[in-house]
Amino acid sequence: MISLKSTREIDDMAAAGAVLAGMHLGLRDIVKPGISSWKIEEFAREYFKDRGAIAAQIGFEGYKYATCVSINDEICHGFPRKQVTLKNGDLVKIDTVVEYNGAFSDSCWSYAVGEVTPAIAQLMDVTKQSLYLGIDQAVVGNRLGDIGATIQHFTEDEHGYGDVRDFVGHGIGPTMHEDPMVPHYGGAGKGQRLRNGMTITIEPMINTGTWEANTDHPDGWTATTMDGGWSCQYEHTLAITNDGPKILTSQDLAADAKYLWPGYADQLAEHAAAAKRIAQKY
């Protein structure tokens, strides 16, 4: 069942989103060559505790960590690991879900570790652009297929990448994963019609090679590309409103000005300052 959120409920989700976006802003000072991926997990846990938030992924279907830290050919759901050190040129995707005062928000961001190659920089740019192209289709009256078709055409037809099919966006609130599923591929004009008050994630995972994923990792969680190509992901939680899509996990107030929910900017500033303070320890 798809739940339509009230203004108050979206206010609460935006507050949770500002906490989550603050974490990502703090990570910009941490993700660098020479740190273990476990440091990302430690920072996230300390930051969430400081903010009075809950790392909602811990315990979800047996998952043990606050973050997913997926590197290079890992598409998603990689574990943070003490024995894995980030190297110059790596591409790391950091995904987490936060619960804050009972509301949920979900966001993944990709980080270049040091200096990445031009090919990986382009992959990152195209993936991020595809996220925003999808968001621009998330308007009242459109259908879910309009989001997916736009992302697939841009990433596969125009740039020759692989648009992952195995993992999709989803509704969010009042729990972590809700209907509807939000594919990043498909046919325009197909699927569920979008309505005011829906809250969803859009989270394209784009590969340098095939779209196919290997989901048989021994840990039962990590998905990798079938051909060893590298993968990139960006994700926002957003609300569909009569005033257009509103991003509830924005990290860039200037670039996202037309998508901002009222009051979000002040909340983000507070959490970003806390994240930067905590990041200094790492």
- Which parts of the chain sit beneath pLDDT 70? none
Is the pTM higher than 0.85? The answer reads yes
In a domain, 227, yes or no: yes
3-state secondary structure the chain: CCCCCCHHHHHHHHHHHHHHHHHHHHHCCCCCCCCEHHHHHHHHHHHHHHHCCEECCCCHHHCCCCCEEEECCEEECCCCCCCCECCCCCEEEEEEEEEECCEEEEEEEEEECCCCCHHHHHHHHHHHHHHHHHHHCCCCCCEHHHHHHHHHHHHHHCCCCEECCCCCEEECCCCCCEEEEECCCCCCCCCCECCCCCEEEECCEEECCCCCEECCCCCCCCEEECCCCCEEECCEEEEEECCEEEECCCCCCCCCHHHECCCHHHHHHHHHHHHHHHHCCC
In a domain, 186, yes or no: yes
In a domain, 15, yes or no: yes
* Number of domain units in the chain: 1
Domain that holds residue 112: 7-279
Q: Give the whole-angstrom CA distance, residue 123 versus residue 161.
A: 8
Q: Give the whole-angstrom CA distance, residue 32 versus residue 30.
A: 6
In a domain, 2, yes or no: no
pLDDT of residue 180: 97
pLDDT of residue 267: 97
- How long, in residues, is the chain? 282
pLDDT of residue 1: 85
Identify which of 272, 50, 236 has the alpha carbon closest to the alpha carbon of residue 138: 236
Query: Looking at the DSSP assignment, which residues form a beta bridge with residue 188?
Result: none
Can you say how many angstroms the Cα of residue 122 is from the centroid of all Cα atoms in its chain? 18
In a domain, 256, yes or no: yes
In a domain, 206, yes or no: yes
The encoded tokens of residue 223 equal: 């998905």
Please state the residue numbers annotated as binding site.
77, 95, 106, 170, 177, 203, 235
Please state the residue numbers annotated as binding site for substrate.
77, 177
CATH number at residue 39: 3.90.230.10
In a domain, 250, yes or no: yes
In a domain, 110, yes or no: yes
